[in-house]
Amino acid sequence: MSDVMVDVRGVHKSFGPLEVLRGVDLQVRAGEVTVVLGPSGSGKSTLLRSINHLEKVDRGRISIDGELIGYRRSGDRLHELREREILRQRTHIGFVFQNFNLFPHLTVAENLIEAPVHALHRPRKEAAAAAERLLARVGLSDKADAYPRQLSGGQQQRVAIARALALEPKVLLFDEPTSALDPELVGEVLEVIKDLAGSGTTMVVVTHEIGFAREVADTVVFMDGGVIVEQGPPSAVLDDPQHERTRAFLAKVL
């Protein structure tokens, strides 16, 4: 199964007495888009955060492109990696948050150049040229010298996506990328994500946008109570759900 890019196996995670992930298995193949749906509190963000080791799982393991995330194996034991190694692994995992998280004191172009120069030691000139290409790709060439506060939410989120791409990640994780946007700005961000999907970027997208899931997802995953209740192609999960919990959720959001 060499084309599995994201491999989540038997992952458990608790916060104190609250078990938030209760045995999650998820495989995302290279070039495919997985959309994760589920009610608030079902563990979606915790799952994404576990994939890039922002959360340390209690049980199970996660690999990206065959590389164990957060740990190294020695015999039959796992040892947590040093912070440096974890940061190196994270450069391969792009993360787009609900609230953009751009650096407010840097221009749009500088936001894109910072990580390739500091984390990947790319020459500044090369990073600047890449930033220019990426801004064109998200339709923001004219905003290179603007500061985040001068942009609309939709534009800021497009910059955040371009910034994630600047590290040429193996996988892009999106946590409700349009939930903080005014309704009229949602479409422009979904268009950018759709365009990435068409170009073969491996993605895991947590969203409540069912229309987007139907159109773009290869696989739709429905989570509830810390487990994956069902998953499959959009036509199966969205149009012919097998579980009552999925039906109840879809009835509320559709």
DSSP 160: H
Contacts of 248 (CB under 8 A, 6+ apart): none
Residue 75 binds: one of Mg ion, ligand ADP, none (C-beta under 5 to 8 A by kind) = none
Residues 11-30 that bind ligand ADP (CB under 6 A): 15, 18, 20
- Given a contact cutoff of 8 angstroms between Cβ atoms, the answer to whether 64 and 93 are in contact is yes
At residue 129's C-alpha, the angle toward residues 126 and 131, to 5°, is 110
Binding ligand ADP (rule: CB under 6 A), the pick from 45, 178, 219, 246 is 45
* Partner interacting with residue 130 (select from Mg ion, ligand ADP, none; CB below 5-8 Å by kind): none
DSSP letters spanning 25-50: EEEEETT-EEEEE--TTSSHHHHHHH
Task: Work out what residue 40 binds among ligand ADP, Mg ion, none; the CB cut-off runs from 5 to 8 Å by kind.
Answer: ligand ADP
With contacts defined by CB under 6 A, name the span among 33-41, 98-106, 141-149, 152-160 that binds ligand ADP: 33-41
Among candidates 17, 15, 36, 30, which has minimal Cα distance to 229? 36
Instruction: From 41-49, 69-77, 85-93, 182-190, give the range in contact with ligand ADP by CB under 6 A.
Output: 41-49
CA-wise closest residue to 94 among 30, 157, 36, 172: 172
Pick from 7, 24, 42, 112 the residue near ligand ADP by CB under 6 A: 42
Sign of CA dihedral 219, 222, 228, 232: negative
Contacting residue, 34, 42, 45, 155, with Mg ion by CB under 5 A: 45
Q: CB nearer to ligand ADP: give 38 or 116.
A: 38
Q: Which is nearer to ligand ADP, 167 or 217 (CB)?
A: 217
The residue range among 36-44, 75-83, 97-105, 191-199 that interacts with ligand ADP, by the rule CB under 6 A, is: 36-44
Residue from 2, 40, 74, 199 touching ligand ADP (CB under 6 A): that is 40
Q: From 150, 147, 158, select the one nearest 185 (Cα to Cα).
A: 158
Binding site for Mg ion (CB under 5 A): 44-45
